[in-house]
């Protein structure tokens, strides 16, 4: 375990993208790239009309919504979300987010693992 305190300014973390349209994220803590342990975190932005498609991964994940509105799919349910909403997603539960609003949707996410490379995604 790292014993180093670590501070990062969000805008200093590189923007990452994948296959999902209108979705980008920045990794804030992940032991494969930051001197941190135990928690892997970042911020994700979804443009209006964009969606983080339905997926699952073995680790649990926590979302804290920062800005915008959208619809989260959790297993077979859909829930409308807005800033201040917090969702705990059990490991392997299918989940996704779509931004059906007119402004950027932004959320903070965290996994109880050292590093993002431990989070193996299965797209559904």
Residue numbers at the binding site for a copy of itself (CB under 8 A) = 1-11, 28-29, 34-39, 41, 43, 60, 62, 64, 66, 72, 74-75, 77, 79, 81-82, 84-91, 93, 95, 108, 110, 112
- Of 60, 96, 61, 59, nearest to 81 by C-alpha is 96
Task: Say which residue the tokens 């994700």 belong to.
Answer: 44
Q: CB nearer to a copy of itself: give 30 or 99.
A: 30
* Minimum CB distance to a copy of itself, residue 96 (Å): 13
Q: Which residues contact 9 (CB under 8 A, 6 or more apart)?
A: none
* Minimum CB distance to a copy of itself, residue 63 (Å): 9
């Amino acid at each position: 375990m790292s014993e180093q305190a670590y501070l990062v300014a969000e805008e200093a973390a590189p923007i990452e993208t994948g296959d999902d349209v209108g979705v980008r994220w920045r990794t804030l803590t992940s032991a494969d790239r930051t001197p941190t342990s135990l928690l892997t975190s970042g911020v994700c932005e979804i443009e209006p009309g964009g969606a983080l498609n339905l997926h699952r991964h073995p680790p649990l994940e926590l979302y804290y919504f920062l800005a915008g509105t959208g619809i989260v799919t959790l297993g077979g349910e859909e829930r409308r979300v807005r800033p201040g909403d917090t969702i705990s997603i059990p490991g392997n539960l299918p989940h996704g987010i779509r931004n059906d609003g007119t402004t950027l949707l932004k959320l903070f996410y965290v996994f109880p693992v050292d590093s993002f490379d431990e989070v193996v995604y299965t797209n559904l």
